[in-house]
Amino acid sequence: MASVFKLPAVGDTMVEGEIVEWLVDVGDTVELDQPICSVETDKSVVEMTTPYRGTVLALGGEPGDVIEVGQTLIVVGSPGDDVPDAGEGGAETAPAGSQSEPGQGVGAVDAPGEPPAPRSQAPDTAAAGPVAASRPSSAAMPGQPGAAEPVKALPKARKLARERGVDLAVVAGTGPGGSITVTDVEAASATASPSAAGRGRRERMSATRRSIARHMAQSMQVPQFTSMADADAGGLLAARTALATETGSRVPLDALLVALLVPVLRDHPVMNARLDGDEIVYFDRYDIGVAVDTPGGLMVPVVRGADALSLPEVSAEILRLAAAARGRTVAPHELTGATTTVNNVGALGMLAGTPMLPVRTSMIAAFGMARPVVRLIDGAPAEVPTMTVSATFDHRIIDGGAAGRFLAQLKGAIEEAAPSKQAEG
């Protein structure tokens, strides 16, 4: 009996994945925990491994196809086994003694020796033929009026429909069993509207961009406000140069900002907290998210236990996480669980920012590019390297007065520029 491996959730926020590349094909023989494909999640590109041994009977889609968590990724069994049609149940775990045997799955995501448990109860979907979706309708039991009717479409047809914005629910299929083919989608696209050609190009957002869009929409549900203050960054910049000379390696400004921020958070615990119902949860850890600009969009890897790290350790960790984020090799767990966030917008040449509050946190701080500002020093004009510090707060638990006191202390820490005196964790 064929064994169906469904796409597991790699991380708490994953709801779907885009197939990037297949490493096996139908008819190939696979071993336990053998890499079979790479999938782009909302966080990174993850290499999937098979929890079964046997012959590849079907694939859940083609490169570029997006499948939901719990849908079929691959079907493995013995030559001649029946491949379940869309909606039919396939064996989650192969019977003992058969050619297909359960394995570990996707690394440490699932328990060793057990097949990954799907995080949703989506039906098994055969990928050798048309992949079924559901036409929108009111909820109803199969066989009753209003029940959803399956939409059968070949993977290439589904991909083309996404690119051209064609609704498969209104396309008549001419393929085997009424499945929708590429020709059907092309015909529907050509007749959709006489002026369709003048509407520009459609492009499906990447998994990372879709995740960013969801999080930004969630963030806007929270009443939030941003306050700013200017700080003399001369000492901070000098400290960065001195540390780079001392260690012989590049020191990201973010590292000094994290080191300066932690003691201030200790004095203002509501800035390292979140609202949960009618209760404020004060975190007992300082896991600081550091915003990183990548070719695929903004990513926020997390420096765990920043309060227990020395400044050189914070620097090395930020450099490691930033490189992994830009190379799409960062682990999903390294992108979750931030208790607060810093964003060095000055690295992009910005003077200031009004950052949006990450979900499940109460504050995010942004630091602009230091620029010369003429001020009176002892009665004489002088150029002072000035950095604008801005922070966005959850207005449900933080008022303007608390925000002002927090910013004033953070400004003072920058101007004192003593990150090496970071309090012990």
What residues are labeled active site? 395, 399
Q: How far apart are CA 20 and CA 157, in angstroms?
A: 17
Token code pair at residue 339: 């208790």
Closest alpha carbon to 23 in 42, 48, 58: 48
What is the arrangement of strands in the sheet containing 72-77, beginning at the earlier edge strand? Answer: 3-6, 72-77, 54-59, 29-30
143: exposed, middle or buried (C-beta count within 10 Å: 0-12, 13-18, 19+)?
exposed
Which residue reads 């491949």 in tokens?
A: 83
- How many helices, marked H, and strands, marked E, lie in the chain? 7, 21
Three-class DSSP category at 8: coil
In angstroms, what CA-CA distances link 415 with 33, 223, 229, 235, 302?
53, 31, 12, 6, 26
Alpha helices in 194-277 (DSSP H): 207-219, 234-247, 253-267
Q: Give the amino acid at 409.
A: Q
Torsion angle in degrees (nearest 10) through CA of 10, 15, 19, 25: 70
Is 98 in contact with 78 (CB distance < 8 Å)? yes
171 in helix, strand or coil? coil
Q: Output DSSP code: residue 230.
A: E
The SS3 assignment for 207 reads helix
Instruction: List b or e across 62-92, with b for residues whose CB sees 16 or more CB atoms inside 10 angstroms.
Output: eebbbbbbbbbbbbbbeeebebbbbeeebbb
Identify the three-state secondary structure at position 342.
strand
Compute the distance between CA of residue 130 and CA of residue 135 in angstroms, rounded to an integer. Answer: 15
